[in-house]
Amino acid sequence: MDRWRGSGKYKDDLCQGIGSPMSRVAIFERAMQRGALSVYAEDRNKAYSLSAAGKAFVSQLHKKTFDPDLPFRINDWLNRGDYDAMSRYIRTVFGRQIRFQRNLGN
């Protein structure tokens, strides 16, 4: 999550982490509380992976929902004040997901 590079479309000097160091802890803790992550400890090191529940959740997401460049897009939209692009993106992603969910029968 630190120095996220996305798909590589954006310049390296724009690399940034996902969330702040403080929020990353909360993200992991909440994912653990919800059963989405499994943790494996070797000595003092921990490794995280998706649990069965986490994999089930991900399987219900449209494949285009994962956007490795989203942090860069948000930064670009904010710098340009492009609120129309933000609205379009939200409508597109959530509309696609709703249609996908309907096809799954959920």
Same domain, 49 and 67: no
Beta bridge partners of 39: 48
- Measured between alpha carbons, how far is 68 from 64 in angstroms, rounded to an integer? 10
Same domain, 98 and 47: no
Percent above pLDDT 90 for the chain: 47
Same domain, 4 and 50: yes
Range of the domain at 72: 60-106
Q: What is the dihedral of CA 94, 100, 102, 106, to 10 degrees?
A: -90
Same domain, 46 and 65: no
The pTM score is 0.71
Same domain, 86 and 76: yes
Tens digits of residue pLDDT in 56-85: 999 999 999 999 888 888 888 998 999 999
